[in-house]
Amino acid sequence: MNSPWAGICGCSVLKIKNKYQKSHCFIPEVSFFRAMVLLPFIRQSTRFFYQMLRQGNLNKIFTVDNYVPSTSVMYRLSAFVFLIVLTIPNIGFSQNSSNSKLISDRVNQVPDSLKDYRDIADFLCSELPNERDKLTAIHSWIGHNIKYDDAQLKEDKHFDTKEELIIDVLATKQAVCEGYSRLFDAMCKSQGIKSFYISGYSRRKNGNTADVSHAWNGVWLSSGECLMVDVTWDAGYVENGEYVFEYFDFYFLNEPKDFIKTHVPFDPIWQFLETPLSHGDLKGNDSDILNFEGSFNFKDSINQLEELDEFTSIQNEIRRIKTFGVTNHLIEEQLAYLEKKLNYLETCKAVKIYNEATVHLNSAIDQYNLYNKYKHRKFRKPKISDDQVLNMVDNILSEVSKAQDLARHVSTSDLELSRDRDKILRIIRRIEEEILIERRWVTKRLDKWRLFRS
């Protein structure tokens, strides 16, 4: 069975620069949480204007204020609960470590005075000798101290950044899967453990896809092992309509081949498998491909993530998701979100180029207004040399040329910005024509003897 992964390479995306990947939350076969990011709608806060005055002076062109989002980038957390009883044995602290007693003591002794996730992680891990023990401590502390936030059934929460989300989780000691996974990821990274935030959807035991999306974590140990973690599902469950806050480690450091049966990343790169399953394979419960040795080196692709810009990363992620099949509405929603995010990034890039163009154009306007002052005084008060006059005109032309080149590279689907770009190009052409006329006039004037110059 051939994997559609063949020939596909590139990188996924998760980066936080006022842009966040779609938030998701739910608990397996017990209660399901969903969180989504409101895509920032672009608005322009400052308009530019241009006017030729009779005196010969030009007003400056005002830059666009970076098309700031009207509501900033926010997490909008909403929840849906399905009251299904899940029976899992209470495992408590992992007994796989010889340091279980030490781990338990560290988890139970975290001072209430510690409010920052870095300080908490430092306290938990400072005396632990290896990554697995540190992961166990972090997982155990979150699972014992962060309760599933069923209050979000009745209200929405908004966060501008991931950092704000984590602060809220620690302050309220409550979270949905976005908060659990972000906190776990941040605490691991603070201890030098390679961790990843993963979004996708879950599958029930009967193979049906859950109604809402989900989030969990992957860890890449220094030994080379890549394992899966879902703190949300290990923090508790719903029984008889009530949430039971009870810690497990059933979904802690799972093998990817087992984890994929219940957790499906939108982007197959995060399956951590050398033979990634397509969404179609999973929909048909066809996992035979897992029995074959694969050749895809997902670690190399993950390492490339840091080398690509966000725009290219998202493009690659969209391509991979589509290649592996669009088989449910959750994948469709994720693709729609990523496409909107691309448009947002494209517009941000266009605004940056546009603003750079206005900088050069304003410089040309400043110099042109100064030139007109000298010209009205016949370049005598104060007196400037012929070379200075010629250099002044040439510098104006240079700035106009730079502005024009940048403005021509403003590529955007935003209609308002497109109109601004076209307007500024018309302004640039008008100024360029006038400066070229002045350039010829200056050249002709300098060819005359000073006694005959007007």
pLDDT at 230: 97
Query: What CATH architecture does domain 32-266 belong to?
Result: Roll (3.10)
pLDDT in tens, 218-252: 999 999 999 999 999 999 987 887 889 999 899 99
The answer to whether the CB of 10 falls within 8 A of the CB of 319 is: yes
pLDDT at 12: 26
Class of domain 346-452: mainly alpha
Q: How do the residues of the chain divide into helix, strand and coil, expressed in percent and rounded to 5?
A: 45, 15, 40
Region 187-213 average pLDDT: 90
Domain boundary assignment for the chain: 32-266, 346-452
Region 57-71 average pLDDT: 48
Region 335-350 average pLDDT: 94
pLDDT at 139: 97
pLDDT at 70: 33
pTM of this structure: 0.72
How far is 356 from 407, CA to CA, in rounded Å? Answer: 8
Region 33-50 average pLDDT: 28
pLDDT in tens, 135-159: 999 999 999 999 988 776 566 677 8
The pair of three-digit structure tokens given for residue 66, joined into one six-digit string: 């970076």
Region 179-196 average pLDDT: 97
